[in-house]
C-alpha cells in the first residue's frame, strides 16, 4: 500500500464519517485501520490504560506540562499517570525527555518540578533565612521531601541569581547562616569572654548568650586570630571545651610549677579543680623533660623515684628491710603505691610486704637459714620421739586402699602413656610424635622467691605440710619476732611467716625423712609390711585368675601379674635383704640390678631369693607362690596364718578403694577398668589384677553375670576407648572422646 492509497483511504474514511449512519465505518473497522497504521509505523500513538483511547506522545508531553502548571509546579509522577490514564513507566520516560528538552523542569525523587516552583522555593528559603538567621539543610530536606544535594543546588543557584545574598555555610555544608547573624553572635561572645576571669565551659557560654553550638568555634577562631579575646580555648567540642582567661592560666601555671617543684608530685583531682580537663596531658606539656611516673590518681617526678631506688639499693647492700611509707607522698592511695613500687622495683631483688615495707631477698634468705635450724630441731624431735614413724604408719593405714589401686593400675597407666606417645600429635602410628603436657604451676605468696612446683610436687608437699606440719606459723612468727626491727613493724612477722611457712616445712619434712631413712629399723619395718601386703594380694589375685576357663586368658592375666606385682615384690625383697646385710645398693633398685645384689648375699639367703627371682624371670606363678614363704623367712619376715576373714577384709578394702578412685576419676579408660574390676568383685567375690588390654576379655567373662543392657553399654564404651586411643582419623578420635565424656557418668553409676 503506497501513500496515495492511504490518502484515498483517509478521504473515504472522512467521507464515511460525515455521511449518514448507514455509510459510517464500524468500530472494529476503525480499530483495524489504526492497527495497520501502527504496524506500518505510519502512526506513533500509545494506548491508555483501559485500551479504549489512542494518544500521541507529543500530546502526552503537552498534557504533562499543563498538569504540572495547574498543580503549582510540583507533581508526583504517579499522580500524573493516574490523571492521564497511562502507565507510570511511560510517564517516567516522557518526564525524563521533558527534563532534557525543557531547561526549567526537573525530575527529582519521583517528582516533576518546574521553574515556577523552583523559584518560589528559593524565595521561601530566603525568607526562612532572614526570619531565623540560619537554616539547616536537613530541616529543608524533611520539609520539602527532596534530596540534600538538590537542596544545596537550589540554594547555590539562588545565591548565583542574587535571590539569596550575604549567606555563609559551615564547613560540613549542613547549615546556612547570614552574615548579620554571625556579627551579632560575635559581639555577644566577645562581650561575654571579656568579662570572664575564671575557666568557663563553652556550653555555658552558648547557653547564656543564646548562641548555637555551630557558631562557637568559627567565631572564637576569628576572635583569637584578631586577638580580640584574652585567653585560650581547650577541647575540640562545645560540650567539653573550656575558655581559660590569660590571667587565670598564668596563675594556674605558676601554682602547678610551684607545687610540683616543692612536693615532687601532682594530684589529678587538684588539676581538675583548677579547670584542667586532661591532667596527664597538661603535666606532660608543662614538664616535657622530666621522667614522670603516672599513677592512678597522682603523677610522681623522678626525684621521688630516685629516692626510693636509693633506699632499695641500701637495703640490698645491707641485707635488711625498711618501711618507705614516710618517704612517699601521703596523698598516694593503695593502688598508687602498688603501681609505683612495682614499676621502680621491677627485676629488683626486693619484695614488698604490707604495701610499703621493702625486704631484700638476701634478708629473706638469711631468715630462712635461721628458720632452717628451727626446722632441723623440730625434725630431730619428731624422729627421736617416734612421732614421725607414727605419722608415716598412719598414712600407710589411711592410704592403703589408694596404694593398692596405684599398684594394680601401675602397668595399665604405663601402657596408656605408651599408647598416647605412639599416637602423639600426628594422629597415630609409630611415626606420631610424643604428646607433651605442661604441668600446672602453683604459686605461693611471692612468685620470685618460691620455686614453682609441678603437680606431683604439689601433692607431695601438700601431704607433708597439711598432714605433717612440723613447724607451725606460730613457731616461725615467734622466731622472727626475736628480731627487734621486725617486731617494731606491726604484722610484718606474720606476713613473713605466712610466706616462709611453706619453704620451712618443706625443709623440715625433708630433714625428718632423711633422719628416718638413716634408721635401718624404719626401712626394714616398712619393707616388711609392704612385702606381707603384696604377697597376700598376689595370692588372692591368682585365685581370681583360676576362674577363667580359657587357658589363653589365664596365661595373659598371669603374665601381667608376674610382670607387675611379682616383680615389685622381688625388688622390695632384695632391697630388704640388702639393708639387713649392710650391702650397698642404688636408691632405686630395678629388676636388672638384682643379679649384682644376689651375688653378694650370704648363701643361706641367696638360694631362696634366687629361686623366687628365677620363678619371676621364667614367669611361673606356681613356683613363685611356693617360694614366697622360704624367701620371706630368709629375710626374717613373719607371715600371719592364712585366714579367710583377712581375705574378706582385703577384698572389702580393695573394693572401697576402687569405688573411691572411680568417684574422682575423669579418665574414661581408667573408669572402665575400675567399673569392670568392681563388677568382677561383685559377681565372683574376688578381686582381679588386670591392665587396660584385659578389659574386653573380663567383660566377656562377666557376660552371664550382668543384664544384657549393661553388658552392651560396657562393650560399646570399651570400643569407644579403643577408638579414642588407636584411631588414625582425627575426626573419629574426637567423636569417640566426646562420646566417652558424655557417657562417663552413666558408666560410673553401674557399680551402684
Instruction: Return the pLDDT at 169.
Output: 65
In DSSP terms, which residues pair with 108 in a beta bridge? 111
- For residues 312 and 310, what is the distance between their CA atoms, to the nearest angstrom? 5
CB contact set of 34 (below 8 Å; sequence gap of 6+)? 43, 45, 54
- For residues 404 and 443, what is the distance between their CA atoms, to the nearest angstrom? 32
Instruction: Return the pLDDT at 2.
Output: 65
Instruction: Return the pLDDT at 642.
Output: 66
In DSSP terms, which residues pair with 300 in a beta bridge? 265, 293
User: Could you give the residue ranges of the DSSP H alpha helices within 1-56?
Assistant: 3-18, 27-39
Instruction: Return the pLDDT at 354.
Output: 80
Instruction: Return the pLDDT at 457.
Output: 35
Instruction: Return the pLDDT at 168.
Output: 67
Residue whose grid cell is 598432714? 467
Pick out the chain residues at pLDDT < 50: 397, 400-401, 403-406, 420-466
Tens digit of each residue's pLDDT (9 = 90 or more) over 25-47 = 666 766 677 777 767 666 667 76
Residue 653: Cβ within 10 Å count:
14
| Long-range CB contacts for residues 304-308, cutoff 8 Å, separation at least 24 | 304/264, 304/265, 304/328, 304/329, 305/344, 308/340, 308/341, 308/344
Tens digit of each residue's pLDDT (9 = 90 or more) over 349-379 = 888 888 888 888 888 888 888 888 888 888 8
**What is the model's pTM?**
0.37
CB contact set of 639 (below 8 Å; sequence gap of 6+)? 532, 535, 629, 632
- The strand order across the sheet containing 242-245 reads 200-201, 242-245, 231-234
Amino acid at each position: 500500500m503506497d501513500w496515495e492509497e492511504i490518502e484515498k483511504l483517509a478521504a473515504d474514511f472522512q467521507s464515511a464519517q460525515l455521511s449518514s449512519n448507514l455509510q459510517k465505518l464500524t468500530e472494529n473497522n476503525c480499530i483495524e485501520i489504526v492497527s495497520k497504521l501502527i504496524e506500518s509505523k505510519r502512526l506513533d500513538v500509545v494506548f491508555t490504560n483501559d485500551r479504549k483511547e489512542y494518544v500521541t506522545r507529543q500530546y502526552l508531553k503537552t498534557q504533562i506540562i499543563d498538569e504540572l502548571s495547574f498543580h503549582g509546579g510540583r507533581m508526583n509522577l504517579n499522580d500524573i499517570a493516574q490523571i492521564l490514564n497511562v502507565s507510570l513507566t511511560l510517564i517516567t520516560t516522557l518526564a525524563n525527555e521533558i527534563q532534557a528538552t525543557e531547561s526549567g523542569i526537573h525530575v527529582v525523587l519521583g517528582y516533576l518540578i518546574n521553574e515556577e516552583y523552583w523559584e518560589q522555593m528559593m524565595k521561601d528559603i530566603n525568607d526562612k533565612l532572614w526570619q531565623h538567621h540560619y537554616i539547616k539543610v536537613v530541616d529543608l530536606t524533611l520539609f520539602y521531601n527532596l534530596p540534600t544535594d538538590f537542596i544545596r543546588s537550589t540554594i547555590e543557584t539562588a545565591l548565583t541569581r542574587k535571590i539569596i545574598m550575604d549567606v555563609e555555610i559551615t564547613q560540613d555544608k549542613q547549615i546556612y547562616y547570614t552574615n548579620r547573624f554571625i556579627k551579632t553572635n560575635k559581639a555577644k561572645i566577645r562581650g561575654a569572654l571579656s568579662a570572664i576571669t575564671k575557666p568557663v565551659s563553652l556550653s555555658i557560654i552558648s547557653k547564656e548568650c543564646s548562641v548555637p553550638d555551630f557558631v562557637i568555634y568559627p567565631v572564637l577562631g576569628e576572635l583569637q586570630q584578631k586577638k580580640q579575646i584574652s585567653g585560650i580555648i581547650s577541647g575540640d567540642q562545645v560540650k567539653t571545651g573550656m575558655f581559660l582567661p590569660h590571667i587565670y592560666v598564668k596563675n594556674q601555671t605558676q601554682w602547678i610549677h610551684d607545687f610540683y617543684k616543692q612536693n615532687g608530685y601532682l594530684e589529678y583531682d587538684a588539676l581538675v579543680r583548677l579547670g584542667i580537663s586532661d591532667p596527664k596531658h597538661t603535666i606532660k606539656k608543662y614538664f616535657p623533660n622530666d621522667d614522670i611516673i603516672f599513677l592512678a590518681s597522682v603523677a610522681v617526678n623522678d626525684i621521688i623515684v630516685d629516692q626510693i631506688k636509693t633506699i632499695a639499693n641500701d637495703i640490698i647492700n645491707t641485707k635488711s628491710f625498711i618501711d618507705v611509707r614516710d618517704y612517699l607522698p601521703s596523698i598516694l592511695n593503695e593502688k598508687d603505691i602498688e603501681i609505683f613500687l612495682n614499676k621502680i622495683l621491677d627485676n629488683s631483688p626486693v619484695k614488698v610486704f604490707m604495701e610499703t615495707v621493702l625486704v631484700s631477698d638476701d634478708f629473706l634468705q638469711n631468715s630462712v637459714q635461721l628458720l632452717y635450724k628451727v626446722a632441723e630441731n623440730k625434725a630431730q624431735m619428731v624422729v627421736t620421739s617416734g612421732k614421725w614413724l607414727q605419722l608415716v604408719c598412719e598414712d600407710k593405714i589411711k592410704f592403703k586402699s589408694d596404694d593398692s589401686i596405684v599398684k594394680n593400675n601401675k602397668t595399665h597407666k604405663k601402657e596408656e602413656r605408651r599408647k598416647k606417645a605412639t599416637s602423639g600429635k600426628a594422629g597415630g602410628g609409630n611415626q606420631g610424635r610424643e604428646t607433651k603436657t605442661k604441668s600446672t604451676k602453683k604459686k605461693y605468696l611471692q612468685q620470685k622467691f618460691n620455686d614453682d612446683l609441678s603437680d606431683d610436687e604439689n601433692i607431695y608437699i601438700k601431704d607433708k605440710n597439711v598432714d605433717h606440719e612440723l613447724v607451725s606459723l606460730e613457731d616461725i612468727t615467734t622466731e622472727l619476732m626475736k628480731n627487734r626491727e621486725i617486731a617494731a613493724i606491726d604484722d610484718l612477722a606474720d606476713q613473713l611467716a605466712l610466706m616462709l611457712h611453706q619453704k620451712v616445712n618443706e625443709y623440715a619434712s625433708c630433714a625428718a625423712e632423711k633422719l628416718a631413712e638413716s634408721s635401718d629399723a624404719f626401712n626394714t619395718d616398712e619393707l616388711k609390711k609392704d612385702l606381707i601386703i603384696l604377697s597376700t594380694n598376689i595370692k588372692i589375685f591368682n585365685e581370681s585368675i583360676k576362674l577363667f576357663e580359657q587357658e589363653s586368658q589365664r596365661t595373659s592375666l598371669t603374665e601381667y601379674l608376674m610382670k607387675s606385682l611379682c616383680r615389685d615384690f622381688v625388688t622390695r625383697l632384695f632391697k630388704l635383704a640388702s639393708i639387713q646385710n649392710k650391702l650397698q645398693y642404688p636408691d632405686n633398685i630395678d629388676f636388672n640390678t638384682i643379679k649384682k645384689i644376689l651375688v653378694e648375699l650370704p648363701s643361706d639367703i641367696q638360694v631362696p631369693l634366687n629361686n623366687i627371682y628365677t620363678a619371676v624371670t621364667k614367669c611361673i606363678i606356681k613356683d613363685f607362690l611356693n617360694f614366697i614363704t622360704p624367701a620371706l623367712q630368709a629375710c626374717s619376715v613373719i607371715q600371719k596364718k592364712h585366714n579367710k576373714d583377712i581375705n574378706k577384709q582385703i577384698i572389702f578394702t580393695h573394693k572401697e578403694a576402687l569405688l573411691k578412685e572411680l568417684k574422682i576419676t575423669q579418665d574414661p579408660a581408667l573408669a572402665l577398668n575400675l567399673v569392670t574390676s568392681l563388677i568382677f568383685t561383685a559377681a565372683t567375690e574376688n578381686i582381679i589384677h588386670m591392665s587396660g588390654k584385659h578389659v574386653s576379655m573380663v567383660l566377656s567373662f562377666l557376660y552371664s553375670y550382668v543384664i544384657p543392657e549393661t553388658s552392651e553399654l560396657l562393650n560399646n564404651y570399651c570400643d569407644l576407648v579403643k577408638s579414642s586411643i588407636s584411631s588414625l582419623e582425627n575426626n573419629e578420635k574426637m567423636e569417640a572422646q566426646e562420646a566417652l565424656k558424655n557417657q562417663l557418668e552413666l558408666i560410673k553409676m553401674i557399680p551402684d
